[in-house]
Chains A and B, each alone.
Chain A
């Protein structure tokens, strides 16, 4: 799924400028790192793609859809095609691993047999089969992140947004999570990932978009963290 930012600025009340005049294009099937210091606008950029935020100026388009004009009732349908993984996992604490993942398909009225099959499939894919009936609080940070990835995968999205998915994880666990993300990308899914992790960015040499104080300061096809 192609993403286009055209002259996008985002200002929060009162006069906090999170993004300034961002113009960029991410092609279908790309793997893109979004890097920058804390407060540089990385999360704001990702939240504009998931339509949690609206731009103050400019245009954000995903696929052929201009997100500014999207009706509120259509947002859930759009999000079903966008896998989302956040640093704080955003899992529902009262549901088990299985239920957290199954939920996204149930919300689409997928018949229970298919839900069951697909949920078990993605749980196996992220290696959490033995943890499937546990609640998020009973899992480690890495395991919770894998649940979030499994949930994002459940609907087979064409776009995968990961906001610092390795932020709370040790190096080994982070490497496991990255393996899963690369596998998703290899299947043709566009992946946009924000991160502070230099090792990860330097090791894989993918496209890097760097933000500083809300401005786009670098857009490199195969970059490292400090290039």
Chain B
């Protein structure tokens, strides 16, 4: 406890003595973590929107007359990418079609006998699985025809890939830049006190005692940067969501606006900032202390 008190005091001295450098680190960490947070939220929203669209994507597979519907249903259900499958009899299909056509359903009477065969409405897990599944269905001898929104599927699938790649690149960039900034700050802080550190070691201070204030300084700066980033996210994300909801109401159900979820996300971001600061500081301090305290 006594040691902890001294170490905390020494960390305070470090922060005060290098306050300009500390402020620069804090601001850079805050900006990078804000970008990281906003990018992650953007990507989560896109993911949410795409999953909604994907869940609405259906494949309609029509069975040849005279085929064993039950057997074909089991064969399709056994396919890995099939999320759900529902079979519709010709009568059910006609009634659904009439429902969809509403007042124009009388036109169907002109067709005479019901021409719609048994068919399956199939849902997949991801948009990217639609086309391979369609190929497999088309190859089945019992399937007469397969109908699906090909262009929409390709676009959603491409958009999903782009969104994940952009989010990943932004994530990696933000983490690397924040890590580098914290690393360099602590390195400069250590280097400027190289002689003092040597003296401390010479008069009996352990490496842990000398190093801990530096590790705490890096952790504190990154944590404070993360708190500022969290403030920035709260101030920019909710107004942004409100603006989107007002202008693009069809997106409303896909946007993450739950304060509980965002609160949790911010908590994680602050923790991530502190952890990143701790890891970077620990690495630089450990390397530095090893070189400074090595006997010749």
Binding site for B on A (CB under 8 A): 12, 50-54, 72-73, 75-77, 79-80, 84, 90-94, 103-104, 106-112, 151-152, 155
Contacts and interface: CB of A to CB of B under 8 A. Distances in A.
Contacts of B209: 76, 107
B295 interface: yes
A181 B5 CA distance: 34
B202 A73 contact: no
B191 interface: no
Contacts of A91: 199
Contact of B6 (A51, A106, A152): A106
A90 B294 CA distance: 18
Contacts of A50: 202
22 contacts: A52-B295, A53-B296, A72-B294, A72-B295, A75-B293, A76-B201, A76-B207, A76-B209, A79-B204, A80-B204, A84-B202, A92-B199, A93-B196, A94-B13, A94-B196, A107-B204, A107-B205, A107-B206, A109-B2, A112-B5, A152-B203, A155-B204
A92 B196 contact: yes
B74 interface: no
B293 to A, nearest CB: 7
A72 B293 contact: yes
A79 B2 CA distance: 21
Interface residues on B, range: 20 to 34
Q: Secondary structure at chain A's binding surface: helix, strand, loop or mixed? A: loop
Contact of A76 (B199, B205, B296): B205
Contacts of A84: 202-203
A50 B203 CA distance: 10
Interface in B195-244: 196, 199-207, 209
Contact of B295 (A53, A73, A92, A94): A53
A106 B205 CA distance: 9
Contact of A92 (B200, B204, B293, B294): B200
Contacts of A111: 2
B75 interface: no
Nearest to A91: B199
B207 to A, nearest CB: 8
A103 B200 contact: yes
Nearest to A157: B204
Contacts of B201: 75-76
A79 B204 CA distance: 5
A115 to B, nearest CB: 9
Given A92-B196, A92-B199, A93-B196, A103 B295 contact: no
A109 B3 contact: yes
A76 B294 CA distance: 13
B11 to A, nearest CB: 13
Given A92-B196, A94-B17, A52 B204 contact: no
Nearest to A54: B295
A102 to B, nearest CB: 9
